[in-house]
């Protein structure tokens, strides 16, 4: 980032992109796609795919042996090279030899790593001498922005796991033509007349805006799907659900059949899957993960959500950090096994879940099954023209001083954004957040207020998006929402 710029690189790039004509934006997206494809799918990507496929059908004993060896390697490297863990573990009485004897079942003896620690001092989590680093400021849609760091090799491991477990189980591949409905501002301006997508030639990906789905624009989205005919549809679960409801209400049809949908960011309920299947004539598979890339859970052909421990070991613990039995809800802790440059060990991701003790008919007994996940079902915000949103990607990226943020819809035309921020947060930063909300949602009033803290629920959960909208205030042109 250049000194003297009022905001970070993301804001500068967005400002330039915003004023390009649509054809130039398409070229920019494709140019970015060339670089991104090499970073994610180059190098040893295919080797990592093969290794994940081999473990996809290994025995529980074979998986346990693999996890123990990989975990010990991660722990020893963290002790030797990562300042945060060396200091924390020494203070807790752990020596290097103790770590060399740990197993996945003895992880609860180690201290818990908080999201607050990562957010406040991300560089203390970096391995000494790490090179070729890629830094990602998370979207802040969870309300707690953090900086995630990896190298290209780690990124390729993440994508190989998703290709095998997320896409592969759905009968697809990340290498095939695909669509994405996501939070990037590929179509600047909430009042754009379309098209509401940009095409990434490098990856054969059509990227749709999540911010322009309205009854008036639905036909334009369907036209984009029919034009490019992507085989796999990915992205925000609620965005596809909302578009599916509009398609069914207005009789809009795809002229082809996609292979599948692989959806994330929010819990995909049974009703959402039913509506999506009716509109897109394809099955929706759920994927659970995080921007920190330390956990992955994917839906198998029998509809069960399996954790991939060879991606990241998942613990579900009580308030004392100890494992809970199947069927009992607890806090999710993740120990990532794929990121050598910023290891996250017993990292509290901010969600809650419970284990299932019933074997899955798919036979992948080495991959444990989640019974339920809590914490990814935020309220829906309704904007002008009937548009709906759950995620506010990019709202707090590179906004100085923001530690937590929460979006509250008070009425159809009023949103309140509450931020916990430092002394460097002022009028300029407040104005940036206001502009970003209006770019995503349209002509609404935005009030940004600085607060000392954001309240948690009775379960200690942080709610990033809250709607206080009376159902009678929802525009008449919006389709009924069967999701609650």
Residue 355 in domain: yes
Query: Which among 436, 85, 153 has a CA at the least distance from the CA of 293?
Result: 153
Split the chain (484 residues) into runs of 10 and give each run's mean pLDDT.
39 68 82 81 95 95 97 97 97 96 96 91 92 76 74 95 97 95 82 88 91 91 97 94 94 96 89 96 94 94 97 96 94 96 94 93 96 74 79 76 85 89 87 88 88 73 79 54 43
Query: Which among 97, 104, 107, 93 has a CA at the least distance from the CA of 76?
Result: 97
Residues 386 and 365 in one domain: no
User: Do the beta carbons of residue 392 and residue 182 sit within 8 Å?
Assistant: no
CATH number for position 117? 3.40.50.12780
CATH number for position 412? 3.30.300.30
Euclidean distance between CA atoms 378 and 391, whole angstroms: 8
User: Do the beta carbons of residue 335 and residue 352 sit within 8 Å?
Assistant: no
Residue 188 in domain: no
Residues 425 and 357 in one domain: no
The distance from CA 383 to its chain's CA centroid, rounded to whole angstroms, is 23
3-class secondary structure, 151 = strand
* pLDDT score recorded for residue 459: 58
Residues 414 and 444 in one domain: yes
DSSP label of 462: B
Q: How many domains does the chain have?
A: 2
Residues 457 and 317 in one domain: no
Residue 239 in domain: no
DSSP label of 478: S
* pLDDT score recorded for residue 139: 54
Residue 424 in domain: yes
Residue 100 in domain: yes
424, burial (CB in 10 Å: exposed 0-12, middle 13-18, buried 19+): exposed
Residues 382 and 368 in one domain: no
Which ranges of 307-465 does DSSP label H, i.e. alpha helix?
Answer: 427-441
The distance from CA 266 to its chain's CA centroid, rounded to whole angstroms, is 9
Residues 153 and 292 in one domain: yes
* pLDDT score recorded for residue 11: 55
Residues 336 and 407 in one domain: no
Does the model's pTM come out above 0.75? yes
Residues 401 and 303 in one domain: no
Q: Mark which of 374, 393, 427 sits at the end of a domain.
A: 374
Residues 357 and 394 in one domain: no
* pLDDT score recorded for residue 291: 84
Q: Mark which of 348, 374, 400 sits at the end of a domain.
A: 374
Residues 137 and 163 in one domain: yes
Residue 469 in domain: yes
Residues 54 and 149 in one domain: yes
* pLDDT score recorded for residue 30: 83
Euclidean distance between CA atoms 234 and 181, whole angstroms: 7
Q: Which two tokens stand for residue 314?
A: 């998942």
Query: Radius of gyration of the chain from Cα atoms?
Result: 22
Range of the domain at 440: 378-473
Residue 235 in domain: no
Residues 432 and 385 in one domain: yes
Q: Mark which of 341, 374, 407 sits at the end of a domain.
A: 374
* pLDDT score recorded for residue 482: 44
Residue 363 in domain: yes
């Amino acid at each position: 980032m250049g000194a003297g710029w009022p905001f970070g690189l993301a804001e500068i790039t967005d400002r330039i992109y915003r004023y390009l004509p649509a054809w130039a934006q398409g070229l920019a997206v494709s140019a970015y796609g060339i670089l991104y494809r090499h970073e994610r799918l180059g190098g040893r990507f295919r080797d990592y795919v093969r290794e994940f496929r081999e473990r996809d059908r290994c025995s529980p004993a074979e998986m346990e042996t693999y996890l123990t060896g990989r975990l010990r390697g991660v722990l020893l490297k963290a002790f030797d090279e990562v300042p945060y863990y060396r200091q924390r573990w020494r203070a807790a009485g752990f020596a290097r030899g103790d770590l060399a004897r740990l197993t996945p079942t003895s992880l609860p003896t180690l201290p818990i790593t908080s999201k607050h620690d990562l957010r406040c001092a991300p560089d203390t989590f970096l391995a000494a001498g790490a090179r070729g680093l890629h830094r990602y400021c998370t979207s802040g849609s969870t309300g707690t922005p953090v900086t995630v760091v990896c190298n290209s090799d780690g990124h390729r491991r993440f994508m190989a796991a998703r290709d095998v477990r997320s896409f592969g189980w759905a009968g697809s591949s990340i290498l095939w033509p695909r669509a994405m409905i996501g939070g990037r501002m590929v179509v600047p301006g909430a009042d754009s007349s379309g098209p509401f997508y940009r095409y990434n030639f490098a990856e054969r990906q059509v990227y749709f805006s999540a911010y322009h789905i309205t009854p008036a624009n639905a036909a334009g989205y369907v036209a984009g799907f029919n034009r490019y005919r992507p085989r796999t549809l990915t992205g925000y679960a609620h965005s596809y659900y909302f578009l599916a409801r509009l398609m069914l209400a207005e009789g809009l049809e795809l002229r082809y059949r996609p292979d599948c949908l692989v959806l994330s960011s929010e819990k995909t309920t049974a009703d959402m899957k039913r509506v999506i299947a009716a509109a897109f004539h394809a099955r929706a598979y759920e994927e659970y993960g995080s921007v920190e890339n330390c956990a992955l859970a994917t839906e198998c052909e029998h509809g069960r959500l399996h954790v991939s421990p060879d991606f990241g070991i998942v613990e579900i613990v009580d308030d004392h950090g100890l494992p809970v039995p199947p069927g009992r809800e607890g806090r999710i802790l993740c120990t990532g096994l794929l990121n050598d440059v910023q290891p996250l060990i017993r990292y509290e991701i901010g969600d809650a879940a419970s284990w299932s003790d019933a074997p899955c008919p798919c036979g992948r007994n080495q991959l444990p099954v989640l019974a339920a996940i809590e914490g990814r079902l935020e309220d829906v915000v309704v904007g002008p023209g009937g548009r709906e949103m759950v995620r506010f990607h990019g709202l707090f990226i590179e906004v100085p001083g923001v530690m937590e943020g929460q979006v509250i819809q008070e009425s159809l035309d009023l949103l309140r954004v509450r931020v916990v921020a430092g002394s460097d947060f002022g009028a300029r930063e407040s104005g940036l957040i206001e502009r970003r909300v209006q770019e995503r949602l349209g002509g609404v009033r935005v009030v940004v207020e600085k607060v000392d803290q954001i309240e948690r629920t009775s379960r200690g959960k942080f709610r990033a998006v809250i709607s206080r909208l009376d159902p009678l205030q929802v525009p008449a042109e919006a389709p009924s929402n069967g999701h609650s």
